[in-house]
Amino acid sequence: MGVDECARSRVFRFGGYHWCIEFYPYGWWAANVAGKAMAYLCYLSKAGSVYTKYTLSMLADEGEEPVHSFDSSEGVFSPAGNICSGKELKPLPELVDGGFTLQYVLTICTNVSPPMELPGHLERMFGKQRGTDITFRVRGREFSAHSFLLAERSPVFEAQLFGPMAEKDMARIEVVDMEPAIFQMLLHYIYTDILPSCNDQGGRTTAGMQQLLVAADRYGLDRLKLMCEEELCWRIDEETIMSTYALANRHHCNRLKHACLLFLMQSPDVLGTVLENSGFNELCMTNYLPSPLKGDHVPGTNKRRSHPEEETDPGKKLKRTRYFFWW
């Protein structure tokens, strides 16, 4: 073997990255080490840079005792197969007689921070309801909470609980026009900054996300509103397009409105059906209720539950007109 000729190990995987070892008995011109035996640890992955510590040893053919060991080194390996850990093995004839083994002891250093504990602690605090000082009554169901946390998270709660018009005795508050499951999801977000997982009370259904968006807008939780809007963009279908568009129009959700219009433009059959609906124009311009949760109806009747202040005033219907969609 001459200069620039090497013996290469098999490619092996360690720490989620690919590596190999190369040995140049007579050196490598590119590294300006011609005539000197060199060993290299090669990084072959393209998954980004990795910080390592490594030690190279030469083992005799007869045993595992190192004939020669090099000091521990450390460095950052870059993608695209860069070779950056060369070691000069000299004088090679004096170290070995016959075969030998090159051994790299490699350590990948990761700087992984421990997971955040505060969201979990706050969620447990919400579940245990320890130290709560306020109770909300939502259609017969009660929820206890911490007023200072609600006020910090929501400008509406802040004004309601600590503003100039707040009453001295605010221990119990009646919440109207909202389902208990939605209010529970709202509180879960306030305490944890994340949406709860799916449950058996309407939860993360399209109807649940529509009503949660309304609740987020009502209490000034802009981030939650955007989260609901983003999820609803992926839930648009033939059954929900009208209610979703009306909801987006009413609550000024431009991204959701654009997603609805794009869905209509890409679905000619649905667009034709929607435009043939005599109430679509009025629907898009008036107060339209979000889809009801499962079981959200007036007991003893076949009518869905509605709320007086949210109903469309029949006396304010607009004249039928023709709409053109542009984007």
pLDDT (mean) for 83-107 = 66
Distance between CA atoms of residues 128 and 138, nearest Å: 19
How is the beta sheet containing 141-145 ordered, strand by strand? Answer: 141-145, 134-138, 172-175
Could you give the percent of the chain with pLDDT greater than 70? 70
User: Are the C-beta atoms of 28 and 59 separated by less than 8 Å?
Assistant: no
Q: What integer pLDDT is reported at residue 308 of this predicted model?
A: 38
Q: What integer pLDDT is reported at residue 38 of this predicted model?
A: 82
The yes-or-no verdict on residue 320 having pLDDT over 60 is no
Q: Which two tokens stand for residue 58?
A: 């030469």
Q: What integer pLDDT is reported at residue 219 of this predicted model?
A: 96
Q: What integer pLDDT is reported at residue 142 of this predicted model?
A: 94
User: Are the C-beta atoms of 240 and 291 separated by less than 8 Å?
Assistant: yes
pLDDT (mean) for 75-80 = 70
Across 82-96, 117-131, 261-275, 301-315, least confident range: 301-315
Q: What is the pLDDT of residues 22-37, one digit of tens each?
A: 888 887 666 556 667 8
Q: Which CATH number fits domain 118-316: 3.40.50.2300, 3.30.710.10, 2.160.20.10, 1.50.10.10?
A: 3.30.710.10
Q: How far is CA 238 from CA 189, 232, 243, 274, in A?
A: 29, 13, 10, 9
Radius of gyration of the chain (CA): 34
The yes-or-no verdict on residue 109 having pLDDT over 90 is no
Q: What integer pLDDT is reported at residue 93 of this predicted model?
A: 52
More confident position, 316 or 2: 2
Q: Provide the pLDDT confidence category of residue 132 given band limits of 50, 70 and 90.
A: very high
3-state secondary structure 281-319: HHHHHCCCCCCCCCCCECCCCCCECCCHHHCCCHHHCCC
Q: What is the pLDDT of residues 3-22, one digit of tens each?
A: 778 888 888 888 888 888 88
Q: Residue 175 belongs to what H/E stretch? A: strand 172-175
Across 57-61, 159-163, 235-239, 301-305, least confident range: 301-305
Domain 7-109 in CATH 3.40.120.10: no
Number of neighbours of residue 216 by Cβ within 10 angstroms: 24
Distance between CA atoms of residues 138 and 110, nearest Å: 48
Q: What residue segments make up the domains of the chain, in order of their start?
A: 7-109, 118-316
Whether the full predicted model's pTM is greater than 0.75, yes or no, is no
Q: Provide the pLDDT confidence category of residue 151 given band limits of 50, 70 and 90.
A: very high
